[in-house]
Amino acid sequence: MPALESAEGAVPDQSSRLKSLGVELNALNTIAEEERTQKPRSLFWPWFGSNVSVLGLSYGSYLLAFGISLWQATIVGLIGVVFSFLLCGVVSIAGKRGSAPTMVLSRAPFGVHGNRAPSALSWLLAVGWETVLASLAVLATATVFTQLGWDGGVGTKILALAAVVVLVLAGGIAGFDVIMKMQKWITIVTGVLTVVYIVLVSDRIDFTAVSNLPAGSPQGLMGGCVFVMTGFGLGWVISAADFSRYLPRNTPSSRVTGWTTFGGSLAPAVLLIFGILLAGSSPKLNTAIGLDPIGALATLLPTWFLVPFAIVTVLGLVGGAVLGIYSSGLALMSAGIPVPRYVAAGVDGVLMTAGAIYVAFFATSFIGPFQGFLITLGVPVAAWCGIFLADLLLRREDYVERDLYDPRGRYGGTPALPLLILGLSTVVGWGLVTNTFAGWLTWQGFLLEPLGLGGRGGAWAYANLGVLVALVLGFAGTLALSRAAVRRQESPPAPAEAPEAILGTVQ
């Protein structure tokens, strides 16, 4: 019998030392029943803490760039936020049904070996987000120091980067229990200080100017909605079950979905609406946000609140980066890299640091590369999400743990159909989006003209239609074509394994 992927792959003495230091020993293995002690409401803390960042204010500016009005931006923004986190909530159901990370549960539709492709995608997305969040924390700190009349140059950026990296790596390496505690305190501190920020700058809102923003086209509405989806919940779907796997199997699915959706969407919804009001009131601020999205918001504050603003900014961004590095480490392991979880988190931390150095010290713009990143990866992530959700919907039984680690088991090694659906959905999706932020991505949008949508310069060019199409194709294709395969997987009786086998053994 093949060995399950173990908690850390460490010898017993090393495992004892790691445990004594507070390092989580679980990795890709199934969580033991006695460890599934979390409550559904505990999901509120990581999801709120990782999305309370004042970066949400900046999305108000990004939405208005689609040429839409106040009410249009508010409606499509709320739809994008809530729907995208609802997807996370549904994916989280798989976590409590299988008690394993998202990229292990994804082996059910994609196979043990075939799932390495989605795992690599998940890893790339998570590392990208970590880099974005760390970079923003550095840029915002430098701006705040400059506002205070202090040195906001290279030295300050280096110190800020070092502090962010230490916090993120500490949480990512320690693992689940430490992250849950960190997120609770991040939620409390950032929640309070964010409310103070809103009160302090509310007098900068010009309701007349915002109300006079002209209405936009249907294409602008769709483009804005999809951009918000990719910037919020859709960026988390590929790791959502990582935080619900510690729930008991009998936890009501509605509570898993509800707490995840509520925790993830509450702060972004409030911040997004307030950000729309701020950006719509000042064209100058709107432009500044594109260069330094969070630092520009600091210029509105009285001097005495700049230090608390820096604290709330860094903590909010660290909250998201910690969750990202935890999931990216698991994804790297699931992609086939044979290292312990804490080593995988360390590797991702090095890459995050390198990327943040480039963005903070050498890049000339933020919003352009950021949009290009979201659009390009948003398409295959949406396709994967559609496939995973349809597969979850088709399953009547919980996952058979041991077969998630055995290519000879019921889930197979490399089933062709789901990979074909993923590939086709991604290709079609890329054909329906445009990306002018990188020269090597200008080939995207190749289906816009053949389908009569005006080509790369037409009205639908920036509607990001391909993200929604990839989501629908992945879901519908799996629902229509994979039903028989799922029934075959669920027909054999589950193997009777000893509890020790389910927990996993050292490879």
| Nearest residue to 33 via CA among 251, 202, 311 | 251
93 neighbors 253 (Cβ within 8 angstroms): yes
| Nearest residue to 29 via CA among 94, 125, 103 | 103
**In one letter, which amino acid is 57?**
L
What does DSSP assign to residue 68? -
Q: What's residue 500's pLDDT?
A: 46
Residue 505, helix vs strand vs coil: coil
Neighbours of 56 (CB within 10 A): 25
Q: What's residue 355's pLDDT?
A: 87
Distance CA 101, CA 349 (A): 20
Residue 301, CB-side half-sphere exposure with 13 Å CA sphere: 25
| Nearest residue to 176 via CA among 245, 95, 88 | 245
Distance CA 248, CA 75 (A): 36
Q: What's residue 57's pLDDT?
A: 87
373 neighbors 132 (Cβ within 8 angstroms): yes
Q: How far apart are the first and last CA of the chain?
A: 12
Distance CA 254, CA 315 (A): 30
Neighbours of 407 (CB within 10 A): 15
Token pair of 82, please? 């809530």
The reported pTM is 0.88
Q: What's residue 492's pLDDT?
A: 62
The residues, any chain, with a CB within 8 Å of residue 453's CB and separated by 6 or more, are 432, 447, 459, 460, 461, 465
Residues of the chain with pLDDT under 50: 1-3, 8-11, 496, 498-507
Token pair of 460, please? 């639908």
| Nearest residue to 468 via CA among 270, 294, 228, 266 | 228
Q: What's residue 365's pLDDT?
A: 64
